[in-house]
Structure formats: structure tokens, C-alpha cells
Structure 1
């Protein structure tokens, strides 16, 4: 007796959801596309926000920037909740292993008290700046338009919260887990002249209503100075003063900043290439914030870094912004 088994292929009637099909055509969609594009409500809102009755719940005019298609800000990392959590979990596993190694080998004992005091006074207060960065990115998530941008902003906000917590943990690693290091660190943030420019910058920035302007301030200007001054030059200073072991405790921050830059650079490029008006607007914002941020970091950098540290950081920022199509010269041309 012979059996004949026939196979048949079944063609799906639809390859994806209708809203995805309208944008990408009748073809299978990625998970990132399905959960990111065209899912934000645009019409039939039940009420206007009580705190801003002149706006709708999802309103394009929360920023002066104008886009033909707000979903053009697609994330090159293609992060949705699942992929974001998996990626950051790997970074966190590495960070936890580094902290465990540092504490198990009692590496803090090999750092001089003078260097510990410098780290507590000149690095631990950056946790307050990271908390401010968290609020900056929360603004983009709350008032931004288009899920591809708003979901990436909330992920970035959680990154900044994590960075603030890890900076605090570095203080705990230095004081044996007592928390005593956080007391002089807070006093430095509130009283030391080196921090008052940065503290003023943080407080004033939180009054800015344009979320994309805040996005540029944080991701282009502040983060460029942070990457160069704190995680490059200050990191080198630690190595020169027999405290290189602390570098392993900042690995999460360094990796996260590189990842955030990959995303934010694509956002800036997309916005700048959209129109001449956008490019000029971004250049105006850069011209407004660059001297403010430079002046804010100068007293801090003067404590331990070379005299030309600020100029080096500024030059690298300008080189980065030029690649994005954002140049200060465009203001004069306009």
C-alpha cells in the first residue's frame, strides 16, 4: 500500500496591516515597522490638554521645526521595546560584571584618597546632569510627533536615568557602599563654583517649551562636550593618576552615548535635509546654545583638564555638526 502525500502552498490574503501596506506596499513588514509607523492618533481627539488648550493631544506645532512626514525620523537601530530591552540588557550585564569585579578585587583601595576626592567632587555630580537629560528626552517623548521619534526618546530617557544611577554607584563603590560620597558630591553640585554654570544650564533648559530645541541641546551640544571632556579627557586623567580601573565602571555610559549618537545623528540629518528653513533653524539653535554650554563646562574643565580642553571639545562638536549639515556659517548666509 502506498501513500501519496500532497503539499500545497497557501498564499496569505494580506501581507501586513492596512496602515503598513499604505506606507510600504503589500509585502511582509518587519516588527519594527508594524509597531512604529502610523500608529499615533491624528484625528478625533476627545479633548484638548488642559495644560495647553491651544494644542491638540498630538500636535505638530510643539516645535518650530516643520516636516512633511514626521515618520521620516526612523531609527537606524530599529529599536522597538523588545529589541531595545535585549540590547540594553547586554550592556547592563557587562556593567554589573565590571562593578562586581571592581568590588570583589577591592580595586578602590588602590586609588589614592586625593584622586577619590577629585572623582567625588568632579564626576559624581554628573548624575544630576544625567537626571536633567532624562527630563529632556521625556519632553521629546511627551510632545514629539510620530511614534518613530517618541518611542526612541523614551528609550533614551531611560538610558539617561540608568547613567545617573550608575554614576551614583561609582560613588558607592568608592565609599564602600555607605553612601557617604554622595553627600560631598551634592554639596559640590550646590556650592562649588566649578558646577554652577552647569547647574544653571540644567535649570534654565527645563523651561524650554520646544522639544526639538531641547533635543539638539542635549544630543548634539551637551553630549558632544560630555563625550570629549568627561569620557575621553577626564578618563585619560584618571589613567595618569593610577585610577584607570574606574574606566570599567563608566563603560555603560560610554557605550550608551555612542549608541545614542548613532540615532540622534540620523535625526539631525533628516531634519536638516528636509528644507532650507529647517537647516537654518537648527543652525540658529546651535549658535544660541554652543557658547552657553561652552561657558558652563569651562569652570569644571579648568579643575583638572588641559587649558585647551574646551577648545578641543568645541572643535569636535563643530566637525560633527558639519557632517550633519548644521553649520554656524549658514546663519550669516541666511
Structure 2
């Protein structure tokens, strides 16, 4: 008996979904990212306007003062959709777990000096509340924003912020041998320590901003660009005695800062370049929130480094240079 194996080429009846084909022009093969992003936003057939905001539809371009001809222009350069995002974060989380195992098995945090422990408890652990605030803001942008190209990465960023809050909580639990006392102390520091109160005021003020792209600028250029960069970059001398351990345990944050900036910078640049109106608004918002973030972090800079706020000013200058590079007039 002989077996003959033959191959048959079957041409697909179409290369992609109709809404993607209409955008790309012709029935061309599309990437998974394009199929999961383009024109997914609901635009019609809503039942009624929300009772709590009757002047807008559920998804409405008027919820921000900036105007775009096409809200799918500011795409994610990382090409993240559900699958690729989760694969990337699973790999990063495995690295986090390995680093925690390394530090815990060798008792590296347990062996640090009392001064280093105090610096971590005062300067790093309260940051879990700031990351929670970032989670709240990015979730708000997802539900109020328009266009899947922006709203999908916003909810991914919200998950990242929550993940970083959990990593900092784990650092606290390692410090106090899983008792949770350090986290209770960090909450008290966040609520009562004068060094943190302007930071807390800033993030709480951002919670009530209703223009979602204004909030996007506040979070990405103000909170992320100044406050988080200050802690993870400019405040390194404050944690010098525990430097290796802290660097290992906050490795995710360092990688995330670079990756998140690629996306957020791209979005701000595209939106600002759309029109003079957009550029003016985004520039004003960026200047306001960067300046507020610098003033908010000055007391913390003095408390941790005793530098009279110089590190805060350096973080602000770096954020301003970044904004100028995006085409903003600051």
C-alpha cells in the first residue's frame, strides 16, 4: 500500500475583518494588534445618556477639550493588546519573583542598617498609595476616554500601577518579617508625615479632573514624569545602604518607566501635533502639572536627602526637557 500526501493551498475568502480592511485600504492582512485596536470603540446605538452626566453619551469625544480628527492616530508603539500585554507582564513578574527569592533567601533586607530601614519605610513604602492613585487615574481615563488605541493601554497601565503597589507592599512585608507593621506605618506616613502631604494633595486633586486627556497629561508628565522619577531615580542616595536589594526589588519599576514613557510620549506628541489648539492646551496642562509636582516633591527631597529640594528641581527639569522634546511649548 502506498500513501500519497498532497498539499492544497486554500486562499482565505478575506484577509481580515471588514472594519479593519476599510481603514487599511483593501482586504490586506492585518496584525493582531490592528485587529484588536482599530475601530473597536462603540460609536452608536446607545440606549440612553447616562443619568449622572446627561450632557454626554457614554462614549463621547467631547469629554476632553482637545480635538482629534481620528482618535486612532495615537497608537501604542509597543503594539500591546490583551495577549501580548499579559505575556510581557508574566515574564516580568517571573523576574520579580526570582529577585524576591534571592533577597529573602539571603536575608539582604534584614541585614540593612536601622538608618537604611528608616529611609525605606519613610521614602519608599508610602509610594504604594501613590501607585494606587495612578491606578485610579488610568482606570478613569479608560472609562472616560475615546478610542481603543488609547483606552486599552490605559487599562494596561492601571494594572501596572496596581502591580507596583503590590511589589512595594511585598518589600514592606520582607522588611517586617511578614507582620504588616511596616505597611501600617507607611499608611500613617502617607496620611500624616509633612514630607508627603503635598504629594498626597496633588494626586487627590487629580482625582476630580473631569477632562480625561487633561488627566492623562497630569498623570504621565506630572505624576509619572516627576514624582515617580524622583523616587526611582533622583532619590537613590537616600537608599544607598540598601542599594543592591532595593535595585533588585524595584527592577520592574525601572523597566516600566522606560516602556511606559515610549507609549505616553508618543500619545502626547501625536495629540499635540494635531493642531495649534491642541498644542496650546496640552502645553498649558503639562506646565501646570510639572510645576505642581516639583513643588509637591520638594519637602520629600529635603526630608530624604537634606538637599533643599535640589533633586526635586532636577526631576522637574528632566520632565520639562522631555515635554519640550515632544513638541510642547513650556
What is the TM-score with the length of structure 1 in the denominator?
Answer: 0.94
Judge conservation of contact 1:235–1:247 (CA < 8 Å) in 2. Answer: no
Structure 2 matches for 1:27-38, cutoff 5 A? 27-38=28-39
Judge conservation of contact 1:235–1:244 (CA < 8 Å) in 2. Answer: no
1:19 corresponding residue in structure 2? 19
Hey, what's the Cα distance between the residues in 2 that align with 1:191 and 1:158? 27
Judge conservation of contact 1:222–1:293 (CA < 8 Å) in 2. Answer: yes
Per the TM alignment, residue 108 of structure 1 is displaced from its structure 2 partner at its CA by 1.6
Deviation sequence 1:271-300 (CA, Å, 0-9, x none): 011111101110111222222111111101
1:48 corresponding residue in structure 2? 49
Judge conservation of contact 2:221–2:289 (CA < 8 Å) in 1. Answer: no
Confirm or deny that 1:115 pairs with 2:84: no
1:281 corresponding residue in structure 2? 281
Residues 242 and 120 from structure 1, CA distance in 2 versus in 1: closer, same or farther, beyond 3 angstroms?
A: closer
For residue 140 of structure 1, give the secondary structure of its aligned residue in structure 2: helix
Judge conservation of contact 1:133–1:157 (CA < 8 Å) in 2. Answer: yes
For residue 297 of structure 2, give the secondary structure of its aligned residue in structure 1: helix
Per the TM alignment, residue 10 of structure 1 is displaced from its structure 2 partner at its CA by 3.1
1:331 corresponding residue in structure 2? none
Confirm or deny that 1:190 pairs with 2:206: no
Hey, what's the Cα distance between the residues in 2 that align with 1:8 and 1:90? 38
Confirm or deny that 1:309 pairs with 2:323: no
Hey, what's the Cα distance between the residues in 1 that align with 2:103 and 2:148? 40
Hey, what's the Cα distance between the residues in 1 that align with 2:200 and 2:183? 17
1:270 corresponding residue in structure 2? 270
Deviation sequence 1:53-72 (CA, Å, 0-9, x none): 11111100111110000011
1:253 corresponding residue in structure 2? 253
Per the TM alignment, residue 206 of structure 1 is displaced from its structure 2 partner at its CA by 0.6
Residues 188 and 7 from structure 1, CA distance in 2 versus in 1: closer, same or farther, beyond 3 angstroms?
A: closer
Judge conservation of contact 2:227–2:293 (CA < 8 Å) in 1. Answer: no
Confirm or deny that 1:128 pairs with 2:106: no
Hey, what's the Cα distance between the residues in 1 that align with 2:110 and 2:129? 26
Hey, what's the Cα distance between the residues in 1 that align with 2:184 and 2:304? 21
Per the TM alignment, residue 190 of structure 1 is displaced from its structure 2 partner at its CA by 1.1
Per the TM alignment, residue 228 of structure 1 is displaced from its structure 2 partner at its CA by 3.4
Residues 110 and 48 from structure 1, CA distance in 2 versus in 1: closer, same or farther, beyond 3 angstroms?
A: same
2:93 corresponding residue in structure 1? 92
Residues 97 and 3 from structure 1, CA distance in 2 versus in 1: closer, same or farther, beyond 3 angstroms?
A: closer
For residue 33 of structure 2, give the secondary structure of its aligned residue in structure 1: helix
Judge conservation of contact 2:74–2:267 (CA < 8 Å) in 1. Answer: yes
Hey, what's the Cα distance between the residues in 2 that align with 1:105 and 1:78? 38
Per the TM alignment, residue 3 of structure 1 is displaced from its structure 2 partner at its CA by 9.1
Judge conservation of contact 2:290–2:320 (CA < 8 Å) in 1. Answer: no
Hey, what's the Cα distance between the residues in 1 that align with 2:7 and 2:96? 51
Structure 1 stretches (4+) deviating beyond 6 angstroms? 1-6
Per the TM alignment, residue 5 of structure 1 is displaced from its structure 2 partner at its CA by 7.3
2:326 corresponding residue in structure 1? 324
Judge conservation of contact 1:127–1:163 (CA < 8 Å) in 2. Answer: yes
Judge conservation of contact 2:221–2:290 (CA < 8 Å) in 1. Answer: no
2:210 corresponding residue in structure 1? 209
Per the TM alignment, residue 254 of structure 1 is displaced from its structure 2 partner at its CA by 1.4
Gaps of 5+ in 2: none
